[in-house]
Amino acid sequence: MSVKLKKRHEVPDEHKWDLDSVYDTVEAWEKDYARVEAMIPQLTAYQGRLGESAGTLLRALQARDEISKLLEQVVVYARMKEDEDTTNSTYQALSGRSMSLYSRVAAAGAFLTPEILAIPSETIRAWMDQEPGLAAYRHELEDTLREKEHVRSPEVEELLAQVGEVGAASQDIFGKLNHADLKFPSIKDEQGNEVELTHGRYLRFMESPVREVRKQAFEALYTTYNKFRNTLAATYANSVKKDVFYARARRYPSARAAALSATNVPESVYDNLIATVHKNLPSLHRYMQLRRRMLGLDELHMYDVYTPMVPDVDKKVPYEEAVDTILKALAPLGEEYCEVARRGMTEDRWVDIYENEGKRSGAYSFGAYTTKPFILMNYQDNLDSMFTLAHELGHSMHSYFSRKHQPYHYAGYTIFVAEVASTFNEALLTDYLLKSTDDPKLKMYLINHQLESFRTTLYRQTMFAEFEHITHQRVEGGQALTADVLDEIYYDLNKRYYGTEGMVVDDLIAIEWARIPHFYSAFYVYQYATGISAAASLSHQVLTEGQPAVERYLTFLKSGSSDYSTNLLKEAGVDMTSPEPVQQALDVFARLLDEMEQLAG
């Protein structure tokens, strides 16, 4: 019997996030929307004047922060109200207007960085020494000055800005082809029904316990991409050429150097990641062999790598039990962390808990400097939902501590560290659950959950990162990226990563590069792999060292973006410029694999 979803107005307040704490009426939102509009001229009044004095520069930065802080609140409320019920036209309109306002404010403040860079560096540094208020922006200003040698003359900058839309064409074309024009055939599901294959259904089919369903889905998807391989190769090749063009225009030694320079991450971090994962590929090969044995297969194909090795454990976990379990798992972090987390998940109503009619699917952590760090869930009373809640809580606690301890301009944090706190929470939850049960089925389920997390986030994203590095090097060396070349690079990487003993690396996997959207945002995915590595290292330190490691970790959460990400992690006890954290994470993978092999017999 199906249970009908509640309409939004039928959901009890205690199950909803407290957006009334942001604006209790649309009229209150409208007032702040108008206030932001009125503040735009106050910001643009500083255009052409930043070089006047330390005081002028300080007031311009403060004006930027004041308008940005309020704008953030306006945008967050509108977006989250729309996500509560995506069919509500009132909030659709508010969301659209808020994003339009965001674009207007961004355009109004576009003069800031070029004008700051036009001021002699020694002048800005002297001003920071003279003006205490400006000294509070020291890291931000030094970071801006760091990129000075890569900013070109006003004429060249104007030209680069004008070709920006052309540069975005590859990603736009890929998006239109991938989401609008590509149509996949129908396949037969587990009941023998004809079902059209879609992007959304593909992973569900790949997790199917029926092998023929997985095989059909795999072949249908990649045969379709193969029909457009030359168009997709030309699209991706032009995206790589665009990256190389911009890097050269801004006088970077390579496209990768340009991408990593944005957050001041040394290229050695990227190289260490790939080299350390290569060294530990035998563990992944062992895992593939264990998967083959546990699935009872003579040989493992690429369409067998996502189906669960361990059947779902039918363990009901109501939301209240999940909150209690997560808090016990996070107890090593101390009383303050756990009390804030407890209140956030209960009476302070950070969390929009259950699914309702029209509500956005999935889960996320979101908020503004002036709001609670809200969490959207579609909680399903199972183990998977409990892990998702722990993950999103990690993001929200990071945001809570950063906003509490940092001024607005340092309260955010980079993508490089964004997944650390969330994955850290999952690691502590897994450790707690494994220590709290003697049920071999539950243990195997939990270990498999962690092993898959490492496989898909550390190993797979590193393979993606290596593919990007190779393709960009090819173009920088004057070579062409044809469909055949891209297929060969990608197929060889899959053979290297997954192994060939008892493993069939199907020919069709060679075209998988053609469906990865992240490849159009080059040198981004490696951060997922470094993030899980840092989290594994930090969680291990907290569980083994105790209080000193806890203090370092909490300091990291409170630091926002007040220093470069690699420096903040180093202070916390993880040096991402060395191979050690990645190796520590892969050691955890190997230990979990040992335990899984023993349990499987």
For 115-130, what is each residue's pLDDT tens digit? 999 999 999 999 999 9
Alpha-carbon distance of 284 to 460, in angstroms, equals 10
Q: Is residue 305 in some structural domain?
A: no
Beta bridge partners of 504: 301
Query: Cβ of 211: how many Cβ atoms within 10 Å?
Result: 14
The owner of tokens 């003579």 is: 298
> Measured over all CA atoms, what is the biggest interatomic distance in the chain, rounded to whole angstroms?
76
Q: 3-class DSSP state for residue 75?
A: helix
Burial 230-263 (b: 16+ CB within 10 A, else e): eebbebbbbbbbbbbbbbebbebebbbbbbbbeb
Handedness of CA 276, 282, 284, 287 (dihedral sign): negative
Name, in order, each residue with C-beta under 8 angstroms of 180's C-beta and a sequence gap of 6 or more: none
Look at residue 3 in the predicted model and tell me its pLDDT.
62
Retrieve residue 380's tokens. Answer: 């399903």
Q: What are phi and psi of 165, to 5 degrees?
A: -65, -40
315 within a domain of the structure (yes/no): no
Residue whose pair of structure tokens reads 């590929």 in the numeric block: 281
Around Cβ 309, how many Cβ atoms within 10 Å? 20
> Which two three-digit tokens encode residue 324?
């209690």
388 domain residue, yes or no: no
Query: Whose structure tokens read 């897994």?
Result: 430
User: How confident is the model at residue 436, as a pLDDT?
Assistant: 95
In a domain, 60, yes or no: yes
Long-range contacts (CB closer than 8 Å, 24 or more residues apart) made by 117-125: 117/144, 117/145, 117/147, 117/148, 117/151, 118/50, 118/51, 119/50, 119/51, 119/57, 121/145, 121/148, 123/51, 124/57
**Residue 554 domain-assigned (yes or no):** no
Residue showing tokens 């926002």: 560
Edge-to-edge strand list for the sheet holding 364-366: 351-352, 374-376, 364-366
Percent of the chain past pLDDT 90, that is, above it, reads: 90
92 to 17, 19, 80, 510: CA distances (angstroms): 19, 16, 10, 41
Q: Is 38 exposed, middle or buried (0-12, 13-18, 19+ CB in 10 A)?
A: exposed
Residue 334 lies inside a defined structural domain of this protein: no
Residue 72, domain extent: 10-151
> Bridge partners of 186?
196
Specify the DSSP class assigned to residue 178: I
Instruction: Note the pLDDT of residue 577.
Output: 95
The low-confidence residues of the chain, meaning pLDDT below 70, are 1-3
The tokens 């493993």 sit on which residue? Answer: 503
Q: Are 238 and 231 in contact (CB under 8 A)?
A: no
Helices (H) and strands (E) in the chain, counts: 27, 7
Selecting among 392, 419, 426, 468, the annotated active-site residue is: 392
Query: Could you give the CA distance from residue 335 to residue 314 in angstroms, rounded to a whole number?
Result: 32
CATH code at 50?
1.20.140.70
What is the β-pairing status of strands 364-366 and 300-301?
A: unpaired
SS (H, E, C) 408-472: HHHCCCCHHHHHHHHHHHHHHHHHHHHHCCCCHHHHHHHHHHHHHHHHHHHHHHHHHHHHHHHHH
171-202 burial: b if 16+ Cβ within 10 Å, else e: bebbeeebeeebebeebebeeeeebebeeeeb
**CA–CA gap between residue 90 and residue 571 (Å, rounded):** 46
Query: What stretch of H or E contains 503?
Result: strand 503-504
Length of the chain: 601
Q: Which amino acid is at 425?
A: N
Rounded to whole angstroms, the Cα distance separating 377 from 351 reads: 7
Cα separation, 528 vs 307, in Å, equals 22
Instruction: Note if 392 is an active site residue.
Output: yes
pLDDT digits (tens, 9 = 90+) for 409-443: 999 999 899 999 999 999 999 999 999 999 988 99
Question: In whole angstroms, what is the distance from residue 526 CA to residue 273 CA?
Answer: 8
Q: How many domains does the chain have?
A: 1
Tell me if 112 is assigned to some domain: yes
DSSP per residue over 360-389, as a string? PPS-EEE--TTS--EEE----SSHHHHHHH
Please choose, from the candidates 296, 291, 293, 283, the residue with its C-alpha nearest in 3D space to the C-alpha of residue 307. 291
Token readout for 139 is 């890291």
Residue type at position 90: T
Distance CA 237, CA 471 (A): 8
* Amino acid making up residue 121: S
Per-residue confidence (pLDDT) for residue 1, from 0 to 100: 38
Non-local (6+) Cβ contacts of 30 within 8 A are: none
β-bridge pairing 351-352 and 194-196:
unpaired
What is the pLDDT, as a whole number, of residue 389?
A: 98
- Report yes or no on 588 lying in a domain: no
